[in-house]
Amino acid sequence: MLPAGSLNNRRGVASTRMAKAATLSQAEIERFVERAKRGDRRAFGRLVDEYKDKIYSYVSRMLGDPYEAEDVTQEAFVRAYRSLPRFRGAASFHTWLYRIAGNLAIDVVRRRKRNDVSAFSLDEPLESDDGEYEREIADDTGGPEDATGTRETQLAVRRAIMDLPEKLRDVMILYELQGETYEDIAEILDVPLGTVKSRLFNARNQLKERLQSLVEAGEIEVEQ
């Protein structure tokens, strides 16, 4: 049982370090949505520009595969455009986009499970028609000395997140990495606020246990 009122509107750790700050005001977004509803693809393009990093990073973190994430993100925006006539503005546009993208990402995860390919490793090379190549993990570390350690830690964290049950992973990514609020996550996932909080609580606990076992096994080191 969580302490009453404990998980309030605090932002996730990533809320202040999202890739790009929003550039459109709410009024502008609403205007572009209305124009896009009338078939204005340029207006929709502005909306894609506005939200592509958010949606891509969410999908990429859900799937752990940047190439698949690109396809899913593109498909999410195409479907959003097709569904715009049904968007009534009850939800905010960005939570609506998240929901479309999340559903598509979950479809991919379930398809993987059916095909028994869920246990792929982020360390394993990707296969393509041109042969195998390494997965690209963005590296924003300073110098070469700590780069290896950080990259290993990043891979371990990503793997630990990927190992979380689907429902916990979703909330963990949306809150901790995407910086969404509890209210928005509840809207995106269509679950009560209390469910979001309890899932986040369980996700943190499970992530801690998984990463701790890796630290204890000496597979990763922690920066103090």
Partner 1 sequence: MTCVEVRENLVICWGDADELSAEVLAHLAECEACRLEAMLLRETRIMLRSLPDEQAPVGLTEGVLARLADEEAQVGLPGRVAAWFVPQDQPAWARAAAVGVALALAVAGGSVLYHGQQPAGNEPETVVATTQGQVPGQAEYDELLLRHRALEASQALADDPGVTLVTYYR
SS3 124: coil
For partner 1, the closer of residues 22 and 222 by Cβ is 222
Please select the residue that binds partner 1; options are 15, 24, 31, 52, rule is CB under 8 A.
52
For partner 1, the closer of residues 117 and 138 by Cβ is 138
Tell how many helices (H) and how many strands (E) occur in the chain.
8, 2
Binders of partner 1 in range 94-133 (CB under 8 A):
none
Q: Residue with structure tokens 């300073």?
A: 142
Binders of partner 1 in range 195-214 (CB under 8 A):
201, 204-205, 207-208, 211-212
CA pair distance 74, 60, nearest whole angstrom: 12
Please select the residue that binds partner 1; options are 32, 56, 96, 98, rule is CB under 8 A.
56
CA pair distance 192, 186, nearest whole angstrom: 6
Report if residue 41 touches partner 1, rule: CB under 8 A. yes
Burial label, 152 (beta-carbon count in 10 A; 0-12, 13-18, 19+)? middle
Binders of partner 1 in range 60-79 (CB under 8 A):
60-61, 66, 70, 73-74, 77-78
**CA angle at residue 220 from 217 to 203, to 5 degrees?**
85
SS3 48: helix
Report if residue 48 touches partner 1, rule: CB under 8 A. yes
CA pair distance 90, 161, nearest whole angstrom: 31
Contact set with partner 1 (CB under 8 A): 1-3, 6-7, 13-14, 17-20, 37-39, 41, 44-45, 48-49, 52-53, 55-57, 60-61, 66, 70, 73-74, 77-78, 81-82, 84-86, 138-140, 150, 153-154, 156-158, 176-177, 201, 204-205, 207-208, 211-212, 215, 220, 222-223
